[in-house]
Amino acid sequence: MKLDDPKSIRIKIMDFLSRREHSKKEIYHKLSHRVSSLELLEIEIEKLIQEGLLDNRRFAEQYVHSRENRGLGPIRIEKELRERGVERTIIEELLSEKNWIELAKKALLKKTRKSLPREKEQILKLKKFLNYRGFSYIDIEGAFKLVDGSSNL
């Protein structure tokens, strides 16, 4: 069923926004194949932005919070936000507010159940795991130093 009038497009967008925050790009992508006029879709998206109901910054704040709670690092979160159309300035501002070494430490402790292995192979495996999660080399090394220093191994 094609959405062919502004009211039905707005209702569908509001339906999406009632479940969770979305970026402008996500809404456009979800509805672009379901509307009869892309121009109408763009107009409704702009109206919602003007009304403050659709906000890339608010979306990014919630997204960063959600992803950091899942143990993901800044590199991966930045990539995912860019894919969702969030502006670089917003991403940089939100990611600079976090202590990524501490978050890498938290992910490391959760993975290792509070104790670091001594074998180089296992340590490299953990570093690879943190790198896959999106933490930088500096964050990973800092996390290992914090865990090693606090556990007195």
Q: Model confidence over 75-128: pLDDT tens digits?
A: 999 999 999 999 999 999 999 999 999 999 999 999 988 778 889 999 999 999
Residues 41 and 62 occupy one common structural domain: no
118 falls within a domain? yes
Q: Is 19 helix (H, G, I), strand (E, B) or coil?
A: helix
**Given this model, what pLDDT does residue 33 score?**
93
Cα angle vertex 113, ends 127, 142, to 5°?
40
How many domains does one find in the chain?
A: 3
Tell me, rounded to whole angstroms, the distance of Cα 80 from its chain centroid. Answer: 6
Segment 5-36, tens digit of pLDDT = 899 999 999 999 999 999 999 999 999 999 98
* Whether residue 135 has pLDDT greater than 50: yes
**Does a structural domain hold residue 116?**
yes
Whether 33 and 50 share a structural domain: yes
Q: Mean of the pLDDT values across residues 127-147?
A: 95
Going by C-beta distance under 8 Å and a sequence separation of 6 or more, which residues neighbour residue 7? none
pLDDT of residue 152: 43
Helix, strand and coil percent figures for the chain, each rounded to 5: 70, 0, 25
Strand, helix or coil for residue 33: coil
Tokens 């292995």, located at residue: 117
Are residue 116 and residue 80 in the same domain, yes or no?
A: no
Q: Does 23 share its domain with 42?
A: yes
CATH number at residue 37: 1.10.10.10
Residues 61 and 48 reside in one and the same domain:
no
Is residue 32 in some structural domain? yes
Does residue 43 sit in the same domain as residue 67?
no
pLDDT digits (tens, 9 = 90+) for 35-66: 989 999 999 999 999 999 999 999 999 999 99
Residue range of the domain that includes 84: 57-96
Domain assignment of residue 1, yes or no? no
The rounded distance, in Å, linking the Cα atoms of 21 and 23 is 7
> Looking at the domain assignment, is residue 36 inside a domain?
yes
Q: Quick one: 38 and 18 in the same domain?
A: yes
Say what the pLDDT of residue 1 is. Answer: 65
Please, which residues bridge with residue 69 across strands? none
Is residue 25, in this structure, part of any structural domain at all? yes
* Model confidence band, residue 150 (pLDDT cutoffs 50, 70, 90): low
Assign 43 to helix, strand or coil: helix
